[in-house]
């Protein structure tokens, strides 16, 4: 499993936790989960090179989002702030994947 997939998996786990424990945020968490699962499928289908110029920004955004979502899952950070980071990471990851599809 490469670093992108590892960080994406951390995001998925935190979103699942938020969805199950924080009912007020369940719909938004589920929407983001759907996107993350699609990204995971796309990552498995692509042979992404770490040398791609879009790789480092995507990885950095995924790592930041994973950290914020982990804090939100523990209710140490507002969920909306974590969701915004997740959306930004999704945009960066989509830019990277656009090079391959």
pLDDT digits (tens, 9 = 90+) for 10-67: 999 999 999 999 999 999 999 999 999 999 999 999 989 999 999 999 999 999 999 9
Give 8: exposed, middle or buried? Use CB within 10 Å, 0-12, 13-18, 19+. Answer: buried
Q: What is the pTM of this model?
A: 0.94
The answer to whether the Cα torsion of 68, 70, 71, 75 is positive or negative is positive
């Amino acid at each position: 499993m490469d670093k992108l997939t590892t960080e994406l998996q951390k995001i998925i786990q935190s979103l699942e936790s938020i969805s199950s424990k924080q009912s007020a945020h369940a719909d938004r968490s589920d929407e983001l989960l759907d996107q993350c699962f699609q990204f995971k499928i796309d990552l498995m289908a692509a042979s992404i090179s770490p040398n791609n110029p879009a790789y480092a920004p995507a990885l950095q955004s995924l790592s930041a989002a994973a950290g914020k979502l982990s804090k939100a899952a523990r209710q140490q950070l507002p969920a909306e702030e974590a969701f915004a980071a997740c959306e930004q990471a999704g945009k960066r990851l989509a830019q990277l994947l656009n090079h391959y599809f």
